[in-house]
A and B are shown apart, each in its own frame.
Chain A
Amino acid sequence: MLTRRLIVCLDVKGGRVVKGTQFVNLRDVGDPVELAARYEAEGADEVTFLDISASAEERATLLDVARRTAERLFVPLTIGGGVRSADDVARALRAGADKVSINSAAVDRPAVLTESADRFGAQCVVASIDAKWDDAARMFRVYVKGGRQPTELEAVSWAAECVRRGAGEILLTSIDRDGARTGYDLPLTRAVADAVDVPVIASGGAGDATHVRDAIVDGHADAALVAGILHDGLTTVAALKDTMRDAGLPVRMASVERGA
């Protein structure tokens, strides 16, 4: 049986891990290679790097970071941010990524998902969806350009479309909850997870271990993505996994494996 995953996300800018609130007040958190290796040692199931500048020059920097990370990281690495084409995916994979997440480019031209999946397999194509509740329209609306630009797309049907077009996984971020630390958006997560037959990663809103548990138990997510609460030292990977395990979820416990 597959275990439920805990994925650590690192926002990368200028070759460093940064952290901010709604993309402002960025501050330096550390070296991505060092941090990725540390989170692996603590038991993180995967690491995700998001290039939050997504400019052309920065992308070359991120690929260099991926290359240096892949030499030391022995859990899966996903990279995303500014990926526009199957050739961009190829460059990321060659640099050492195992999966590549595609966001705005898929909305602009959904065929990029199919082209990437045909060349490299669905297992490395992650459709990244940023969504926000639209009370007037009574729907979760999809946003692009780092959550700044609304689209006409509804999140659940867009997720299903991404899967039809070749995405092997959905990274689902709630804009409403991002950075709020009040818990994942469970109705959004559940609606998408129940509508698609690929793994869904819940993102945005983790404040403590019970939120991670709830995203999986009540939100039906396969994995939960966490960032700030780890970087700020509010909790640890081990503590999050203990809570998942105590809720009866199958999880990989790093310490148990070492002793096995």
Chain B
Amino acid sequence: MTTRVTLFDYGAGNLHSLAKALEAAGAEVRVETDAARAVENTDALILPGVGAFQAAAQRLAPGRDAVRDALGAGLPALGICLGMQLLFDASDEGPGAGLGVIPGRVTRLDAARVPQIGWNAIDDARDPLFAASGLGVAYYANSFVCRPDDDAPVTAWSEHEGDRFPAAVRQGNVVGVQFHPEKSSAPGLAFVKAFVESVRDS
């Protein structure tokens, strides 16, 4: 059976590559601009990675409780970059409530060169999606990173100018990645495929 995934479009930018990566992984992709509807009739929710926290939180707000409930009930989700940050409580980038699925706050990278733009190594990966895909260097384009209240949900790390930050988190079926797998070439596509396959098998 086809795996149905829904991309929540906050209206910011390029969703093409992510949609194509999900389709290449065998998923049937639906784009939804309404957050509450994005968790209905789907096997997984995808929170893409383009835009600013405040604008995304505003678009999320009307459906925030519905999304929280769905994820709490076990709906698999993949949050990418800003989408990962939305899994947390709040962000220094701007006002608005995140989903609060993972306790913690989003803060600015503690580095001279911000935004971080480029390929960075993935360290201490323990999420099976990394082993399945062989993703060891991933593409980042971000100024802000997630700081969970404790390290338990962190499943991989990266480091920029001495600031070590979570590359990936997992809370049950909810996965967040700070990098862009859809921009990380063949191993990134393999990561997306491994996620889609994990949804199929869940």
Whether the Cβ atoms of B21 and A74 lie closer than 8 Å is yes
Residues of B within 8 A of A (CB): 12-14, 16-17, 20-21, 50-52, 112-121, 134-137, 139-143, 159-160, 180, 182-189
Q: Which residue of A lies closest to B142 (CB)?
A: A123
A70 and B20 in contact, given A168-B117, A199-B118, A252-B119 (Cβ under 8 angstroms): yes
A residues 173-214 with Cβ under 8 Å of B?
197-199
A residues 220-260 with Cβ under 8 Å of B?
222-223, 250, 252, 254, 256-260
A98 on interface, CB distance cutoff 8 Å: yes
Whether the Cβ atoms of B16 and A199 lie closer than 8 Å is no
Whether the Cβ atoms of B141 and A124 lie closer than 8 Å is yes
Within 8 Å CB of B14, what residues of A? 70, 93-98
Whether the Cβ atoms of A120 and B51 lie closer than 8 Å is yes
Residues of A within 8 A of B (CB): 1-5, 40, 45, 67, 70-76, 93-99, 120-124, 168-169, 197-199, 222-223, 250, 252, 254, 256-260
A125 → B minimal CB distance (Å): 10
Whether the Cβ atoms of B183 and A1 lie closer than 8 Å is no
Within 8 Å CB of B50, what residues of A? 93, 120-121
Whether the Cβ atoms of B186 and A222 lie closer than 8 Å is no
Whether the Cβ atoms of A254 and B185 lie closer than 8 Å is yes
Whether the Cβ atoms of A258 and B187 lie closer than 8 Å is yes
CA distance A45 to B114 in the complex (A): 19
CA distance A252 to B188 in the complex (A): 13
Within 8 Å CB of A124, what residues of B? 13, 141
Whether the Cβ atoms of B189 and A197 lie closer than 8 Å is no
A98 and B118 in contact, given A74-B183, A74-B184, A75-B183 (Cβ under 8 angstroms): no
A122 and B143 in contact, given A71-B16, A93-B13, A258-B186 (Cβ under 8 angstroms): yes
A199 and B117 in contact, given A75-B183, A75-B185, A254-B185 (Cβ under 8 angstroms): yes
**Contact for B115 among A40, A122, A256, A259, CB less than 8 A:** A122
CA distance A188 to B51 in the complex (A): 33
CA distance A21 to B20 in the complex (A): 36
Whether the Cβ atoms of B188 and A120 lie closer than 8 Å is no
CA distance A72 to B139 in the complex (A): 17
Residue among A222, A254, A257 with the most chain B CB within 10 A? A257
